[in-house]
Amino acid sequence: MKLVLASRNAGKLLELQQAFAPLGVALVTQDSLGIDEAPEPHHTFIENALSKARHAARASGLPAVADDAGLCLDALGGLPGVDTAYFCTQFGYEKSDANNVRAVLEQLAGHTNRGAAMVSTLVALRHADDPEPLVAVGRVKAEIAAQPVGDNGFGFDPVLWIPELQQTFAQLLPADKLARSHRGLAAQRMVALMREHWGLA
């Protein structure tokens, strides 16, 4: 079974390929099929993920999966949320992982509350008009480290400090991160849903 991933993010592709491997599905990016990214005008992860999955399924004629994920900072009332990927641009920086980390550290300067959550919402559709989308959410509580630590992962991994591990996500091996991350948890739940509802092995 071929499944189109509604993303261009190489990090997401790698993590989801590993998570979905037991299902025997071939995960391909919409980019590799010449499909443009869908607009993401909504204010919640689930609405954006559903919009992206429907767009990819309609354009490809294949079942689709989409992830909308973001960082929710306690000190900023849950922001940046769905605008996480572009957070740094509102402060005059070019869009990049490094600049997003920089912007978060600058915005939390002076804040004693460094609590955060990484949230991933995965949506899977059998076809564009599927009335019963599968939805899986993964949420991980963390703290924002004072400075980046570690060389693995992507996005905010270098500053996502996991107190019970006494490490950032960027210090974990990829397999350990996948088992504990917001996207890893959502993917585990999605695999179970696909087995239950789609009859995948």
Residues forming the active site: 68
Q: Judge contact between 16 and 187, C-beta under 8 A.
A: yes
Query: Do the bridges between strand 2-5 and strand 26-29 make them parallel or antiparallel, or are there none, so unpaired?
Result: parallel
25 CB neighbour count, 10 Å cutoff? 19
Q: Judge contact between 184 and 162, C-beta under 8 A.
A: no
Peptide bond into 80 cis (omega under 30): yes
C-alpha gyration radius of the chain: 17
